[in-house]
Amino acid sequence: MASPKATVKFTANFEFNLASIDAFWLDQEASHAFMQLLEDLEQTIIDNLERHPGIGRRFFARSPQSLEVRDRVSKLQQRLGNIDVREYLSGDYLILYGAEDGPGTTGQPITVYLLTIRHYRQLSFDLEGFWQANRGEPV
Protein backbone atom coordinates (compact mmCIF):
# COMPACT_ATOMS: atom_id res chain seq x y z
CA MET A 1 0.00 0.00 0.00
CA ALA A 2 1.36 3.40 -0.97
CA SER A 3 1.97 6.05 1.67
CA PRO A 4 -0.51 8.91 1.68
CA LYS A 5 0.70 12.02 -0.10
CA ALA A 6 1.78 14.99 1.96
CA THR A 7 -0.11 18.26 1.61
CA VAL A 8 2.06 21.09 0.29
CA LYS A 9 1.19 24.62 1.40
CA PHE A 10 2.65 27.96 0.33
CA THR A 11 3.52 30.41 3.12
CA ALA A 12 3.09 34.17 2.70
CA ASN A 13 6.88 34.52 2.68
CA PHE A 14 7.21 31.98 -0.14
CA GLU A 15 4.63 33.88 -2.19
CA PHE A 16 6.51 37.13 -1.50
CA ASN A 17 9.73 35.46 -2.70
CA LEU A 18 7.99 34.30 -5.89
CA ALA A 19 6.90 37.90 -6.57
CA SER A 20 10.49 39.02 -5.98
CA ILE A 21 11.78 36.41 -8.44
CA ASP A 22 9.17 37.51 -10.97
CA ALA A 23 10.32 41.14 -10.64
CA PHE A 24 13.95 40.03 -10.89
CA TRP A 25 13.37 38.19 -14.17
CA LEU A 26 11.25 41.04 -15.57
CA ASP A 27 14.13 43.40 -14.80
CA GLN A 28 16.47 41.05 -16.66
CA GLU A 29 14.00 40.90 -19.58
CA ALA A 30 13.70 37.15 -19.10
CA SER A 31 10.11 36.60 -18.01
CA HIS A 32 10.23 33.16 -19.63
CA ALA A 33 12.54 32.08 -16.76
CA PHE A 34 9.83 32.85 -14.22
CA MET A 35 7.24 30.96 -16.25
CA GLN A 36 9.62 27.99 -16.32
CA LEU A 37 9.93 28.16 -12.52
CA LEU A 38 6.15 28.11 -12.12
CA GLU A 39 5.95 25.12 -14.47
CA ASP A 40 8.67 23.31 -12.49
CA LEU A 41 6.86 24.04 -9.23
CA GLU A 42 3.59 22.69 -10.57
CA GLN A 43 4.87 19.68 -12.49
CA THR A 44 7.91 18.51 -10.52
CA ILE A 45 8.76 20.18 -7.21
CA ILE A 46 5.36 19.99 -5.51
CA ASP A 47 4.82 16.45 -6.76
CA ASN A 48 8.22 15.37 -5.41
CA LEU A 49 7.50 16.93 -2.02
CA GLU A 50 4.03 15.36 -1.86
CA ARG A 51 5.47 11.90 -2.49
CA HIS A 52 8.82 12.29 -0.71
CA PRO A 53 8.63 15.04 1.95
CA GLY A 54 11.98 13.98 3.42
CA ILE A 55 13.82 14.38 0.11
CA GLY A 56 15.77 17.51 1.08
CA ARG A 57 18.85 17.83 3.23
CA ARG A 58 18.17 18.76 6.86
CA PHE A 59 18.77 22.48 7.26
CA PHE A 60 19.87 22.29 10.90
CA ALA A 61 22.33 19.43 10.23
CA ARG A 62 25.10 21.91 9.52
CA SER A 63 27.06 23.12 12.52
CA PRO A 64 26.99 26.91 12.98
CA GLN A 65 30.45 28.44 13.17
CA SER A 66 29.79 31.36 15.51
CA LEU A 67 28.17 31.76 18.91
CA GLU A 68 25.69 34.28 17.55
CA VAL A 69 24.50 31.93 14.83
CA ARG A 70 24.36 28.98 17.24
CA ASP A 71 22.15 31.02 19.56
CA ARG A 72 19.83 32.09 16.72
CA VAL A 73 19.61 28.57 15.33
CA SER A 74 18.77 27.21 18.77
CA LYS A 75 16.00 29.80 19.23
CA LEU A 76 14.64 29.08 15.75
CA GLN A 77 14.58 25.34 16.42
CA GLN A 78 12.68 25.93 19.68
CA ARG A 79 10.22 28.19 17.89
CA LEU A 80 9.59 25.67 15.11
CA GLY A 81 9.06 22.76 17.47
CA ASN A 82 8.47 19.55 15.53
CA ILE A 83 8.79 21.11 12.07
CA ASP A 84 11.71 19.55 10.20
CA VAL A 85 13.30 22.28 8.04
CA ARG A 86 14.93 20.99 4.86
CA GLU A 87 16.67 22.31 1.74
CA TYR A 88 15.53 21.37 -1.75
CA LEU A 89 17.61 22.28 -4.78
CA SER A 90 15.88 22.55 -8.13
CA GLY A 91 17.97 23.87 -10.97
CA ASP A 92 19.22 27.31 -9.96
CA TYR A 93 16.80 27.63 -7.02
CA LEU A 94 17.16 26.84 -3.35
CA ILE A 95 13.91 26.12 -1.54
CA LEU A 96 13.58 25.86 2.22
CA TYR A 97 10.57 23.92 3.40
CA GLY A 98 9.28 22.58 6.68
CA ALA A 99 7.76 19.13 7.08
CA GLU A 100 5.39 18.53 9.98
CA ASP A 101 4.07 15.21 11.23
CA GLY A 102 0.33 14.93 11.49
CA PRO A 103 -1.35 13.95 14.75
CA GLY A 104 -1.21 10.24 15.41
CA THR A 105 1.10 9.43 12.48
CA THR A 106 4.16 7.22 12.67
CA GLY A 107 6.65 9.86 11.63
CA GLN A 108 5.22 10.33 8.13
CA PRO A 109 5.22 14.07 7.44
CA ILE A 110 1.82 14.97 6.12
CA THR A 111 2.12 18.75 5.76
CA VAL A 112 4.93 20.48 3.89
CA TYR A 113 5.23 24.25 4.21
CA LEU A 114 7.16 26.02 1.44
CA LEU A 115 9.05 28.65 3.45
CA THR A 116 11.33 30.47 1.03
CA ILE A 117 12.83 30.27 -2.46
CA ARG A 118 15.80 32.06 -3.99
CA HIS A 119 17.56 32.03 -7.32
CA TYR A 120 21.31 31.99 -6.81
CA ARG A 121 21.82 35.01 -9.12
CA GLN A 122 19.28 37.37 -7.57
CA LEU A 123 21.91 39.34 -5.70
CA SER A 124 24.87 38.76 -7.98
CA PHE A 125 23.55 40.93 -10.82
CA ASP A 126 23.53 44.03 -8.64
CA LEU A 127 25.80 43.17 -5.74
CA GLU A 128 27.27 46.68 -5.61
CA GLY A 129 23.83 48.30 -5.52
CA PHE A 130 22.64 45.81 -2.91
CA TRP A 131 25.74 46.43 -0.81
CA GLN A 132 25.40 50.20 -0.99
CA ALA A 133 21.66 50.14 -0.22
CA ASN A 134 22.25 48.04 2.89
CA ARG A 135 25.14 50.17 4.09
CA GLY A 136 23.14 53.37 3.72
CA GLU A 137 25.70 54.97 1.42
CA PRO A 138 24.78 56.70 -1.84
CA VAL A 139 25.21 54.67 -5.01
Higher-scoring residue by pLDDT: 120, 118: 118
Note whether 98 and 11 are within 8 A (CB). Answer: no
Write b or e for each residue in 44-60: b if 16 or more Cβ atoms lie within 10 A of its Cβ, otherwise e.
ebbeebeeebeebeebe
pLDDT tens for each residue of 52-102:
999 999 988 888 889 998 898 888 888 888 889 999 999 999 999 999 877
Question: Which CATH number does 7-135 carry?
Answer: 3.30.2310.20
pLDDT tens for each residue of 1-38:
567 889 999 999 999 999 999 999 999 899 999 999 99
67 vs 54: CA distance, rounded Å: 29
pTM above 0.85, yes or no: no
